[in-house]
Structures are given as structure tokens and as C-alpha cells.
Amino acid sequence: MPKNEKLDTKRHSLAHLMAASILEIFPEAKFGVGPVVEDGFYYDVHLSRPLTPEDLQVIEKRMREKVKQNLRFERSEMPVDSASEMFRKMSQDFKVELLHDLKTRGTTAVADLDDPNLVGSNVSEVSVYKTGPFIDLCRGPHVAATSEIDPESFRLTRISGAYWRGNQAREQMQRVYGVAFNTKQELEDYFVRLEEARKRDHRKLGRELGLFTFHQWAPGAAFWLPKGTTLYNTLADYMREVLFPAGYVEVRTPLIYNKALWERSGHWKHYRKNMFLIESENETMSLKPMNCPGHFLTYACEVHSYRDLPIRFHEQTPLHRNEASGVLSGLTRVRQFSQDDAHCFLTQDQIGEEVERLIRLVQRVYGDFGLRFSAKLSTRPDEFLGQIATWDHAESQLKAALESARMAYSINEKDGAFYGPKIDFDVTDAIGRNWQCATIQLDYAQPENFDLKYIGADNSEHRPVVIHRAILGSFERFIAILIEHYAGAFPVWLSPVQAVIIPIADRHADYCRKVRDRLAAAGLRIEIDSSVERMNAKIRNAQMQKIPYMLVVGDREQEQGAVAVRLRSGEDLKSKPIDEFLAIAREAITSKK
């Protein structure tokens, strides 16, 4: 069993031990689901009173006792009706409901329950696991016995609210979270990383650095303050500077479309719950949640020759997705955002070369931000559109492109989208966390849906292939990643304020303004700290704001036409002529340092 699967199996088993412990302490407890999540596990439980942090300590102690008892996880299978009767006698109503859905629909996934195609897709037998006296509905797997779990390798961490099956009209559950690792040392290392992550939290730093804020009247949509807007625009302009020489053209498509567009693309059937709908003049409209269909209409409005391809559309206009309020989180999960979105229209024979260009683009961009990254190739799933030969050819081209770009990659078998294989890129930040960002997806379905064409060398109509690609993902989420990666201390080229001038006395104000005007004219983002604070306090404030350069001006600097340069790290570069400082700053900006 692979290392991660083995650890996830332990985490799954700990979720059962937690539920068993809760049931012993609270006999009235009714359980929902208890899956493995990143770094640990949780279980949803319905109780007669709210749990407290003190309760978590008691539950955790009981779990450790069970681990030391070397209890076995015993699997058995039984008919659905027998399982339903057993859980009904145990007063586990939520389990009975899940079993009913398995029997009638063959699934417990809420999103699929209304699918008419699932009628009759019933499950006749289910598996249950017994651990001591505790019995749970579960497909597994689990450890053979609790002796495989280090009793000091886990901890219960928090309690949150959750509605049963995500439905606000249903019962309010308590979601009890735990984290678990292979050893006590790994657990301790996790909490060290967690503390570092708290210090770098983009929500905290966003407030402290004056980048963005939120308001209850606009949930999931950021208010970008002046410094944050500068950062946002710098990032957007950087992407344009990278993309335009690479053959991209920028387009702007409507924000609102008639539902007919989404019916054509398939989003109306599969994505409508995540769309903001508008009723106007007896028409049903929607704010766009993605740019793809608009780009297809843009492509289709003109006749294209094979000589025109590849055509690369790039767009940065706002998108809106109706995310549930409970999952909104800072800039990483929002309702309004923009992407560095692009769609490439090309011939089948151009796939390999174009994908290699895209991989090198990803390498360049992430290199400029100092981000390490890895690639995953996802191949043909069991359910797919098109011919196997076409898929095999596309996958071989993606592999060849990765290898030509000398890009190491792993393979996710059968994890491609139904419309084509894809390459996903995970970036690793300064404290070792992975974030899925860039994606390169081949699409054979939408060119068919939108009847996209080009005129080939044989003067006949042909169907183009579409590549969906994003490098940063959403600007909002990528900015959150950058804030936490740099801990707010952005490289000079990204810093909203690149230098602050600090006059020692009022008599230096006129000279400071002249310095500011000269440096601003040269393209630097610069401010003057004209507050009544003493010089050391101004320097400390600038360091707290993580401004790269502090330019202190006193009598000597004024007489010599210079500035005393300090770095936010505390290093003193001494007095420099203005032109010399400007050369230092320009070098840092050009080199992306």
C-alpha cells in the first residue's frame, strides 16, 4: 500500500474510534459521515448539546485507551435491508437514510440523487465494520487492529457546524475534526507548520498591510484597497507582458448571458446551482462563472483558416460563482474573481508543440515568483467523449511535450475530464504546502457543441481542438498564495509601495518631495512618511508594512543630493546618490528579486 494511502487508512480508522468514543460518552449521539480529509479526519454528529473544548479532551483520552486495547476492525457484508433494520434499532437515523439512497439510487452523493438515470441503480449489499461494540456503515479500508496506530500521533483539534448533507433545511450537525500522522514527531512538526501558517495567513496580513477587506453586504467579494489594487494590477499587467509576445490576444466578453448559452455548453445541467441567475423581461440570464463559452462564440463569429491557427484568446474579466456561504474563505474561496484565463484553438497536429509552449510558459511564470512546482498528467476516464485512438494520440502528445520540456511528472490514471486529458500543476510555497494552480486541458467536446470550424489546406471544414489553460488560476487565490509564500514581504517588483522617503525634520520636506517626484517619474511606486513620528518609529512602521526600501533624508543627504538607504531586513546601505539608488531598485525590479 502506498505511503499516503496507508496513512489515510489510519486516519479513517481514527474517525471510527472517535465516533465509538463519542457514543460511549453521549449514548444519544447520531452519526452522519466521517471521511478522511487533508491532514486528518472528521465525523459529523448530532447531539443534544454543543460540544466544548473540554469534551474534545475527554473524547481524545477515550480514543487513546481504545488504541491501547488493540481492538480489531472486523468487516462483514450484509443485505441493505438487514443493515437498515440494524441501524434503525440502533437509532442511527442518518445511516438509515444513506442506506435508503443506496438501495434506491445506488449512491449517497446528494448532487446525483435527482438524476433520473440513477433510478433502479440500486445496491443490494453493503459492508459494515465492527470495532469493539461499535458498528458503522463503511466501505473501508481500515487498519487490521488499533495496534497499528501510534497513540501519540493524533489530536482532536476543533468543532464546527455543518448541516446534514449540506442542506440548510436539515439537521444542524457538529463536525468534530482531528489530525493524525504516522508518529508523534510528525504531529509536532505539523503544529509548528500550522503556527507558521497562522503568521502568514493572507487574511491577517491583508488587513495589516492594507491590501483588501470584506463586508457582510458583499459576501465572497473582496474590496481591493489602493495598495491591494496596485498589487492586483501589477499581477494582471505582468501576465499581459508575458502572454502578448507569446501570441495571445486579449478579448472581453459579456458578463451576463441567456441560459441558452449554458444549455448549449452543458453547464445549465451540471453547474446551474453554482450560477447567479437573473430574471429580466421574461428571460432567464446568468452571470458567467467561466469564460469558455464566451470564447467559443467569439471564435465562431469569424471564418478561420488553418493558417490562422493556433488562435489564443486571453481574458481577465470578472467571474461569479454561487459558492455556499459556509465554504467562503478569504481570497482562496470567493464568489467574485478574475482568472488569467485563455483558450487556444488549434489543429490536432499542433497539440504537442502548443502544450510544450504552455509548459515552458508555466515554468517561466512560476520561476519569476520563486515557486517550486510539479506536474500531473490525467488520462482517459472510464466515461469519455470521442474515440480511444484520438485519446491515445492526445495523451502521447502531452507526454512528449512534458518530456521535451524536461518536466518531471506523475500520472493520474483515469482522472482526465470526460472531454479530454489534462495536465495539472501544483505549486509548493515557502512552508511546504501544495496548491493546485495551473491547468492545461484538452477539449474535444465543446468544439462539437458549438460547431467550431476552420478551413483546412484541402479547402474543407475541419473541427479544431480547444486547450483550456490557466497559469495563475484566479488572481484572488494566487494573491493569497503569494501573500503567504512571501509572508507579505513581496519582491520589489510586486510590492505595492517600493520605497518610502523618511524626512528627519520638517526642513527636509521640500527636498523629499523633489526626490519623490524624480523617482516616481522613473517608474517607482514611492511614498513620503510625513507623520509626526520620530525617525526610528517611521522606520519601524515601514518595516511592519514590509516596504523594501526606506530612504532617510537629513541635512547631509539634502546637501549632497542623496538618500540614506535602509532595507526592510534592517541592512543599512548607507548614503547613496539618487541615481545610484535608482539603479539598485531597477536591477531588483528587472531581476524579479
Cite the active site residues.
292, 321, 339, 341, 343, 422, 468
Those residues whose C-beta lies under 8 Å from the C-beta of residue 578, and which sit 6 or more positions away, are 515, 518, 519, 561, 562, 563
Q: Which ranges constitute the DSSP H helices of 271-382?
A: 292-300, 351-368
Tell me how far apart the alpha carbons of residues 18 and 428 are, in angstroms, rounded to a whole number: 32
Cell of residue 377, nine digits: 498528467
Query: Bridge-partner residues for 339, per DSSP?
Result: 474
Cell match 498528467: residue? Answer: 377
Tell me how far apart the alpha carbons of residues 239 and 472 are, in angstroms, rounded to a whole number: 9
Note whether 227 and 496 are within 8 A (CB). yes
- Whether a cis peptide bond, with omega within 30° of 0, leads into 310 is yes
Cell of residue 371, nine digits: 515557486
Cell match 501573500: residue? Answer: 483
Q: Nearest-CA neighbor of 105 among 94, 95, 118?
A: 118
Angle between helices 388-404 and 351-368 in degrees, nearest 10: 40
Residue-by-residue DSSP string for 420-469: B-EEEEEEE-TTS-EEEEEEEEEESSHHHHTT--EE-TTSSEEPPEEEEE
Note whether 306 and 194 are within 8 A (CB). no
Q: Nearest-CA neighbor of 5 among 45, 47, 50, 36?
A: 36
Q: Which segments within 230-274 are labelled E, that is strand?
A: 248-250, 256-258
Q: Nearest-CA neighbor of 161 among 14, 28, 44?
A: 44
> Is 8 strand, coil or helix?
helix
DSSP 277: E
Those residues whose C-beta lies under 8 Å from the C-beta of residue 30, and which sit 6 or more positions away, are 45, 46, 91, 92, 93, 94
> Is 134 strand, coil or helix?
strand
Cell of residue 479, nine digits: 494573491
Tell me how far apart the alpha carbons of residues 39 and 494 are, in angstroms, rounded to a whole number: 32
Tell me how far apart the alpha carbons of residues 88 and 103 are, in angstroms, rounded to a whole number: 15
Tell me how far apart the alpha carbons of residues 457 and 307 are, in angstroms, rounded to a whole number: 8
Note whether 165 and 110 are within 8 A (CB). yes
Cell of residue 526, nine digits: 514611492
Q: Which segments within 72-227 are labelled E, that is strand?
A: 73-79, 125-131, 134-137, 154-163, 172-180, 212-213, 223-224
Q: Nearest-CA neighbor of 274 among 255, 259, 289, 260?
A: 289
H or E segment at 590? Answer: helix 578-590
